[in-house]
Structure 1
Amino acid sequence: MNKRFNLIFLIIIFIVVSISFYFVNEKDRFSIPDRSPPWGVGVYSSSLYPATIQTIHAINTVQDWTKILMGGGDGIYRSKVEKIKKIFPDYNGFGIPLYHSFSSQYTQGDYGRILPEKINIYWTSEVNSRFFITTLYVDDIIISSMNRKLNYDGNDDNIYNNDEYNKFSCFPTNINIGFFPDGETKVWLSCGGRYRFVNAKATTVEAEINYNNYSHKDWEDIGYIKELKNRADYFGVKLFPINKKEMDKVYSDRKID
């Protein structure tokens, strides 16, 4: 009887230790590198086909938390033609302008250093009043890329890169997502003004109403389409059919890693 009890006790101990080891490993796996800024999300879209964010939820099931990120998501304002042309004079309205002034930045309220397992983005494509829910999976591709430094022409006083080893390099802990009017997305990681493209896993579904319960008719009545037609006239192009080849272009003032 004692032997059987001891065996059961050892099995229970093994299970508890295994579960604890799993949770510790998962926490370490999703931890961002030391001396890097807290992770955040940047949102980009083109001038002719802007995306507006309703809300962004970051989820970690192992630690049992969900964070609603804080930020502003007006794609119309961020993608103003005159602002983009000052930085990229040859900009034609179609491509994604990867420059901090043209992104909507979303941050955590607690500046946490543990990554989510996935990020749900509720957004609207302005040009066609389509509503999407995109889920970005923070998988090993993103995590390993975050743990590889980017070189940059930085400020020596940067609080996260303030010694001889770090001052010209940084860990790209900002997750930047480019949105397209058909629901597709592209992902770059960034720090210090430098960007690295990552072939991230993301899925998108279309919804009949957006996160704030607007219907397609409600959104059309807001009147953004008139502004987009004015932009198309400025560039001397048509909004439809969408020129996907031109939309694939990415504008950056530095080489993308």
Structure 2
Amino acid sequence: MSVLKKYKKTMITLLALFFLIGCKESEPLPGKPWRVSVVMPSFYPIKITQAYGVNEEQDWTMPLHGLAQSMSTSKLEYVRTVFPDYDGFGFPISPLTALGGRQLGSSNKHLPDSIYIYWTSLINMRFFVTKYDLSPKLKELMAAELSYTRRDGTIDASCYRTEFFFGMLPNGKAKVWLWGCGKFIYLAELDPVREKDRDQNGTTADEYRQGPTPTPQRVRQRGIDAGVSTVPIPWEKVGKVYSKNTVELLSEQ
């Protein structure tokens, strides 16, 4: 076979594979619709003002709701009902301690290409935008059917990993996991794509600081009540992961 024919054959094969992968990515998830959940350290709660997924090829934007009650969900006494040894500085990653974001309206099983979260770090009044891009490998993982044995011994013969967990830190960094089938897969650590001078509702830091009980003061009070120092931020303590489930790496999949 000539070099030219070999080249043509290779190109045809690559194009065919590219076409098949592209078709597979555009198919809807066979399991539950994708979701986004958010966790944060109890001593460094955040406020989410906007979150959505974007699919460029299909030209849609899907808003997410249910991510507003960060102050109550992140309370130290509440998190300790799930993780009794929780120190208040780490990430308590569990469906029980997370803000659960759901799609607005009908549930779209087509995956987004990117997820955007606009949020405020309430300890230091900084405004961040986090963006996470879904890779082809990740989309394949989310579409793969698995089975696993629950803690009570029952077997789930058909499960999918379709929920993202974002963990937010007061310097704007975020960690991302994929949840499903009884385990977490650690995906990435992200820098903010943007830092703003106000939140998506137009509220500035000065406005957060106003009122009889300013937000930063209420947040700092959590540490005072617990008898620990939270300012300056002890970075050696912040970001430790608390989980009752297995946590694996994306490279291990």
- Does TM-score exceed 0.5, indicating one fold? yes
Ranges in structure 2 where 5+ consecutive residues have no aligned partner? 1-14, 249-253
In structure 2, C-alpha distance between the alignment counterparts of 1:42 and 1:150, rounded to whole Å: 23
In structure 1, C-alpha distance between the alignment counterparts of 2:235 and 2:149, rounded to whole Å: 31
Distance 1:117 1:236, change over 3 A: same
Higher strand share: 2
1:97 corresponds to 2:88:
no
Q: Which residue pairs with 1:88 in the alignment?
A: 83
How much is the aligned-residue C-alpha RMSD, in angstroms? 2.6
Q: 146-155 or 217-226, which moves further after superposition?
A: 146-155
Q: Which residue pairs with 2:150 in the alignment?
A: 153
Secondary structure at the counterpart of residue 131 of structure 1: strand
In structure 2, C-alpha distance between the alignment counterparts of 1:147 and 1:63, rounded to whole Å: 18
CA offsets, 1:180-233, max 9 Å, x none? 000000011112553221126664310011100001101222622232222112
Match of 2:220 among 226, 229, 244: 229
* 1:243 Cα deviation from its structure 2 partner: 1.6
CA contact (8 A) 1:141 1:198 kept: no
Which residue type is aligned with residue 36 of structure 2?
V
Q: Give the share of equivalent positions with the same residue, in percent.
A: 29
Secondary structure at the counterpart of residue 67 of structure 2: coil
The correspondence of residues 113-132 of structure 1 with structure 2, limited to 5 A, is 113-132=109-128
1:209 corresponds to 2:198:
yes
CA contact (8 A) 1:150 1:191 kept: no
Match of 1:188 among 173, 177, 198: 177
Higher helix share: 1
In structure 1, C-alpha distance between the alignment counterparts of 2:158 and 2:236, rounded to whole Å: 33
Secondary structure at the counterpart of residue 223 of structure 2: helix
Distance 1:241 1:201, change over 3 A: closer
Distance 1:249 1:187, change over 3 A: same
Ranges in structure 1 where 5+ consecutive residues have no aligned partner? 1-17, 158-163
1:41 corresponds to 2:42:
no
TM-score when normalising by structure 1 = 0.79
TM-score when normalising by structure 2 = 0.80
Select the structure of larger CA radius of gyration: 1
CA offsets, 1:28-71, max 9 Å, x none? 2154542x111010011110011111011211110011111122
CA contact (8 A) 2:173 2:190 kept: no
In structure 2, C-alpha distance between the alignment counterparts of 1:25 and 1:193, rounded to whole Å: 27
Instruction: Tell me how many residue pairs correspond in the alignment.
Output: 228
Q: Which residue pairs with 1:77 in the alignment?
A: 72
1:110 corresponds to 2:89:
no
Match of 1:66 among 54, 61, 69: 61
